[in-house]
Copies of this chain bind each other. A is one copy, B any other.
Amino acid sequence: MKKLILVSNDDGYMAKGVRELMGMLAPYGEVVAVCPHVGRSGQSMALTFDAPLRIEEVESPVAGARLYSCSGTPVDCVKVSRECVLGGRLPDLVVAGINHGSNASVNVVYSGTMGAVQEGAMWGVPAIGFSLTSHDADADFMAVRPAVDALVPKLLEEGLSEGLFINVNVPHGVAHAPMMFCRECKAHWSEEYQQYKDPMGKTFFMLAGHMVNDEPESTDTDLYALAHGRTSVVAELLDRTAPAPQVPAWLRTLASK
């Protein structure tokens, strides 16, 4: 039986990133994409339990592949697909992206695209997300193809240790960026909220800011890789329980009284 590849994203079913990704994946299996009806960036692993979810098949940009639009979040798209689109069958691989913009470093926790990847990984199937460091709606996503061709067939053949998922970020504007296996960089968003007055004179705020690398000297991080023209490949954990040595003794002691 042909391998089944479930695809999702957070930029919505109309985004160029996911449409190009479907074409790149088609040689490796049966591709079914279930994507948000509109852009749902920054939705993390948000899910919908108190509102109707609607799904409809839309015209696929790739022959032989299927594309669905769903009214929910990226996590909803993955969750609902199994029962309502795939007839209960688990896919052999979940792929999300290609995200319009970086999901490196701490962005991984806010990203709806990486939320879809984690949701897939929670089924116990290999799951990987691809992002390109450009927010341009018409960016050249072909830069991501070498990473897809290197990683996707391997994941389909070898699988992935249960409890892991993969976050791949490709630097925009670099031809044939070599891959670098690395770790999540410590970074933070330096946030500023811009203040506005609405037409009624009431105050509102909008999020602005930029990401700051908290370990600019480190050479083994995803932000280092991207800054040096490489594609970052990070393996991430689903289970976040801290290993005992990292937990202060007072906490372990107190809590076991």
Contact residues of A with B, CB < 8 Å? 41-49, 51-55, 73, 75-76, 79-80, 82-84, 106, 108-110, 112, 115, 118, 122-123, 150-151, 154, 158, 160-161, 163-164, 166, 178-181, 183-184, 186, 188, 191-193, 195-196, 198, 202-207, 233-237, 239-242, 246-248, 250-252, 254-257
Contact = CB atoms under 8 A, between A and B. Distances in A.
Contacts of A247: 161, 164, 181, 235
A161 B252 CA distance: 13
Contacts of A235: 241-242, 246-247, 251
Q: What are the 3 closest A-B residue pairs judged by CB atoms, nearest first?
A: A52-B204, A181-B255, A44-B45
Contacts of A123: 188
A241 B246 contact: no
Given A161-B246, A241-B236, A115 B44 contact: yes
A166 to B, nearest CB: 8
A48 to B, nearest CB: 7
A55 to B, nearest CB: 7
Contacts of A83: 191-193
Contacts of A158: 248, 250
B206 A53 contact: yes
A131 to B, nearest CB: 16
